[in-house]
Amino acid sequence: MQDKITKLFKAIADPTRRDIFHALVIATSALSITQISSQFDISRQGVTKHIKTLEEAGLVYINTNGRERFCNANAKPLKEVSKWVQFYSQFWDNSLQDLENYLNTPKNG
Amino acid sequence: MQDKITKLFKAIADPTRRDIFHALVIATSALSITQISSQFDISRQGVTKHIKTLEEAGLVYINTNGRERFCNANAKPLKEVSKWVQFYSQFWDNSLQDLENYLNTPKNG
DNA sequence: TTAATATGCAACTTTTTGGTTGCTTAATAT
DNA sequence: ATATTAAGCAACCAAAAAGTTGCATATTAA
């Protein structure tokens, strides 16, 4: 498919997936697929697909118990996102870069 | 379309777009569409589309000069991503949450 | 003024994504 | 043993995304 970091970015790009992830993070115990589904307007299969995407991004891991699959959130992979963003943080507070680019933009004459 | 934060997440979810954004950030001067295109394997129109997506996410702004459009990166919107990630950072270093969920997962008997 | 350049716009194609339904299977409860 | 429940798998669908080509237009250079 695609590289790990892209999988991760894609996983959190979908609002429903962010919501599911959030629900798992704040949950006091692991949630089964059915339990998650009950909190969302989409079908159980829809949830299953989202969970799979989150799992492949490393944001969810699953604890199978009998016929149930208990989903846990794992925030660790978000460290990568944090690192990615952090590089650009040097450019956002001072608008030095903006000014520099502005001054370097060729003008008429 | 969709909410601002989702636009932002979607914008950075595409690897080509991340590359374009990066090229603009590290560039010493603003780059025209043609200049950007020359650095990538996709067509000029493809680049134009990506730039539009980045622009709508607030990550790029454009300085038109005659027939040329000089693109600048703007990292500020990434603060939102940083904030989003930061909330989850409390869950990644201690694996307390993991342990808790593990203990709360129903077991046989 | 004519040629070349930089770009936008529109239409179109392909692939991916987010979602669905139907059916099967395995585990549990009655 | 039988019914119920939890879930996977496969096929399908519609919309969005990523990319293309062709053409029009405005600016600039020769």
Residue A36 lies in a domain: yes
Place of tokens 């829809």: A46
Residue A24 lies in a domain: yes
Both structure tokens of B44: 């000029």
- Nearest-neighbour CA in chain A from B40: distance (Å): 18
Chain C nucleotides near the protein (CB, 7 A) = 5-11, 17-22, 26-28
A30 band by pLDDT with thresholds 50, 70 and 90: very high
Average pLDDT (A79-85) is 98
Tell me whether residues A108 and B30 touch, CB distance under 8 A: no
Say yes or no: Cβ of A45 under 7 A from any atom of strand D.
yes
Q: Which residues in range 34-93 of chain B are in contact with strand D, contact meaning CB within 7 A of any of its atoms? A: 41-43, 45-46, 49-50, 53, 65-67
Tell me whether residues A91 and B73 touch, CB distance under 8 A: yes
- pLDDT attached to residue A107: 45
Residue B57 lies in a domain: yes
Domain interval for residue B19: 4-77
Residue B54 lies in a domain: yes
Average pLDDT (A49-66) is 97
Q: Is the pLDDT of residue A103 over 90?
A: no
CATH number, domain at B32? 1.10.10.10
Checking each nucleotide's C1' against the CA of A34, the nearest proves to be D6
Q: How far is CA A103 from CA B22, B29, B30, B33, in A?
A: 20, 8, 9, 18
- pLDDT attached to residue B55: 98
What is the C-alpha radius of gyration for chain B, rounded to an integer number of angstroms? 20
Mean pLDDT lowest among A34-43, A84-93, B10-19, B98-107: B98-107
Can you state the angle between helices B15-26 and B4-13, rounded to 10 degrees?
90
Q: How many residues does chain B have?
A: 109
Interval B12-59: pLDDT, tens: 999 999 999 999 999 999 999 999 999 999 999 999 999 999 999 999
- pLDDT attached to residue A99: 54
Residue A18 lies in a domain: yes
Say yes or no: Cβ of A56 under 7 A from any atom of strand D.
no
* Total CB pairs under 8 A between chain A and B: 121
A109 band by pLDDT with thresholds 50, 70 and 90: very low
Residue B33 lies in a domain: yes
Quote the CA–CA distance of B29 and B31 in Å, as a whole number: 6
B90 band by pLDDT with thresholds 50, 70 and 90: very high
Interval B64-76: pLDDT, tens: 999 999 999 999 9
Question: How many domains does one find in chain B?
Answer: 1
